[in-house]
Structure 1
Amino acid sequence: MISAMPLRKRLAALLIVGVNPSGPAAALAAVRTEQVGGIFLGGNATQLLVGDALGPVRAAADLPLTVAVDDEGGRVQRIDALDGDLPSARAMAATSTDAQVRALAEQRGGQLRAHGVTLDFAPVVDVSDQPDGAVIGDRSFSADPATATRYAGAFAAGLRDAGLLPVLKHFPGHGRADGDSHAGPVSTPPLDQLRTADLEPYRRLPGQGEVAVMVGHMTVPGLTDGAPASLSPATYRLLRTDLRFDGLTITDDLGSMRAVSARYDLPEAVLAALKSGADTPFWSSGTRLTPVLDRLVSAATTGELPPDRITDALRRVLRAKSAC
């Protein structure tokens, strides 16, 4: 399948880009024009999730189309206007057993599937005792690694039960970082400290069932040498070699989070992510798709982006879609 795909189409199939969820026009343009691998629906509009609005978009895709949202519960959810409120991770852990959380996630996952969603950027597996309203805060199940792992695992299992691919985030751990990567550069504790707590969910949960991993934009002393984790080859080596994860990796938003956007032009950030080891670069605005792909094609043509790296990423993307 991969060898039969033109180069530009191979590269486009790796991408998830944001589209306007108030109607199908932007999604249709991205899929028809460039055959992007996935679309992301953010914001509060839900028109693209109602009825068969996604039908023409799927029909325009040559490969199965990934439809992604970030529906964690609490402050971050996308179908509350359609299907009701989902509690925050911290509230779920405080009031429910892990079996109840799994059942709640399965119910929510079924609702998402009914709206055409295939991938949820959840659960948050960050270990954090931040105040509720902080950047992670009540999005974290617990400050205790074992508790966070147990509840996040239950939520991920519920999504899988409903037929969705869960995404563990934000690797290698945003819960104890010194700021908000939406607003600017942030740093975590050193890698040796992350190993004792923040990496625990990534060590245990992939063995329980299929998941993807979202890589965040934090700098990690002892690992990333000052670069955002999402653009650092050492981050992906840690995940692939030390933690033996062979599933799909997705970057956090490369276009609107200033930990990356203040330092890298979008096409260069997308290229750097792929070169570093990401399988699926993601940006929520969906803008500049053509310049991004032009840059990737140029890099692949000259060898700056090695062909094996493209094939390696595309194998994981196609496997996650059950496309082969």
Structure 2
Amino acid sequence: MQADVDQDGRTLTAPIIRTTKRRFLVAAAAGAVLAAILMDYEVPGIPLPEPSTVEAPPPQAASCDTLIEPMSERQRVAQLVMVGVPGDVEAATKLVTDNQVGGIFVHSNPIQLLVEDRLAKVKAAAQLPLTVSIDEEGGRVQTVDPLAGSIPSAREMAATMSPEKVKAKAVDRGKFLSRMGVNMNLAPITDVSSQPDNTVIGDRSFSSDPATVKRYAAAFAAGLSETGVYPVIKHFPGHGNTTGDSHKTTVVTAPLAQLTTLDLVPYQRLTDYGKAGVMLGHLVVPDLTGNEPATVSPAAYKLLREQFGFDGLAMTDDLGAMRAISDRYDLPEAVLRAITAGADMALWSSGGRVAEVLNRLEQAARSGELPAQRLHDALRHVLVSKGLC
């Protein structure tokens, strides 16, 4: 592999790639052992890779600064984006090869992309281990049901199953995702809602009672984590009692004091969810974010970090396909505003305009418009979520 050089001729890529590749190989060996343990989970008709029988020692986490220091500005900002990929494996591989993004989002034609270990080719194109995410809540929001069967909605699970059974259901789905190559699930929902099933949240919520939401969401997250799939709870600061759909229009929540007594209750003691990320929704909280959606509001990230003590991965809801944000900002500007405000990873499902977005972020990093400390903090959270430091 030819090393990248910066404008002063310094080698940038080789040190970090050599170091990270070694860790990645060890992690891959450990993943093969996990696959061997999970061989009792079978998916009829879908060929699975043979597990290794050689057990490797766990990878040693490096200092985040050691990994970050030799990276170019382009490499750094690229790790902060998660891009939707098409079902075609060649197109997905090209997107990763050309842009070296930190993560991809699988949502289109999973039958083509997930079977026969095809994701392995996409992952191999990444110089740093790639986060592969999916939207697998259950009910009307699930992606792999054509391959693995359907799971109930959150509301149905809470009504008919114990938390222990919900955890087992999440373990079952997590095993499948892990063996297909997916390592992040944008679930469970922690929204509190009593609204009808077919509203924007509705039956995606476990309950109208925040304590019940917390109990069941924590069980679902624990089941995913047990299989090596990183859960992401959503949608901070709370979408369950709003009117309107942020896919279609601006959505305004109740005042912050009211959110604190209901919608924000599941975010108390975030360590109860284990190692998990938090997704912010495109939600306007008038006495917190002013007229801005939470995804681009420094006040919303400050609330999450300071009042709720969260030091994990904070990511955005879809910045490209939801009109609550896309009607306000062009995609490159929305991504920059979100990361500058406090997001660690910016998501857009369309997959287009990747180079344009990275150009804008790189320009902002070089000029100081994206402050160096904010970039460093975001990158640290991303690398920690990948288990690299």
TM-score exceeds 0.5: yes
Name 2:69's counterpart in structure 1: 3
Give the corresponding residue for 2:333.
268
Look up the equivalent residue of 1:5 and give its one-letter code.
Answer: M
* 1:29, distance to aligned residue in structure 2 (A): 1.7
Q: Give 1:1-324 correspondences, 5 Å limit.
A: 1-21=67-87, 23-324=88-389
Structure 2 counterpart of 1:27, one-letter code? A
Q: 1:168 and 1:206 mapped to 2: Cα distance?
A: 12
For residue 206 of structure 1, report the CA deviation from its aligned partner: 2.7
Residue 58 of structure 1 and its aligned partner are, at CA, apart by: 1.1
Q: How far off its partner does 1:59 sit?
A: 1.1
Match of 1:250, SS?
Answer: strand
- Write the letter of the residue equivalent to 1:204: R
AA matched with 2:166 = V
Give unpaired runs (5+ residues) of structure 2. Answer: 1-66
Residues in 2 aligned to 1:33 and 1:116: alpha-carbon distance in whole angstroms: 21
> Aligned partners of 2:315 and 2:91: how far apart in 1?
22
Over aligned residue pairs, what C-alpha RMSD do you find? Answer: 0.9
313-322 vs 201-210, which moves further:
201-210
Q: Identity percentage over the alignment? A: 57
Report the TM-score when normalising by structure 1.
Answer: 0.98
- Whole-angstrom distance in 1 between the partners of 2:350 and 2:273: 33
Separation (CA, whole Å) in 1 of partners of 2:242 and 2:90: 38
Structure 2: how far apart are the matches of 1:267 and 1:43? 22
Tell me how far apart the structure 2 counterparts of residues 44 and 154 of structure 1 sit (CA, whole Å): 29
Residue 208 (structure 1) shift: 4.1
Give 1:205 deviation, angstroms: 3.6
More deviation, 265-274/41-50: 41-50
Q: Does the CA-based 8 Å contact 2:86-2:109 persist in structure 1? A: no
Q: Distance in 2 between matches of 1:36 and 1:140?
A: 31
| 1:225-281 Cα distance to aligned partner (Å, 9 max, x none) | 110000000000000000000000110000010000001000000000011000000
Secondary structure at the counterpart of residue 143 of structure 2:
coil
Larger Rg: 2
Contact 1:63–1:323 (8 Å) recurs in 2: no
- Give the aligned partner of residue 63 of structure 2: none
Distance 2:160 2:80 in 1: 39
Report the secondary structure of 1:170's partner residue. strand
Paired AA for residue 77 in structure 1: Q
Quote the Cα distance in structure 2 between the aligned partners of 1:124 and 1:254: 19
CA deviation vs aligned residue, 1:38-78 (integer Å, no higher than 9, x gap):
11011344211101211111111111100000000000001
* Number of residue pairs the alignment of both structures matches: 323
SS of the residue 1:223 aligns to: helix
Q: Distance in 1 between matches of 2:212 and 2:189?
A: 13
Q: What SS class does the counterpart of residue 18 from structure 1 fall into? A: strand
The CA deviation at 1:201 is 1.2
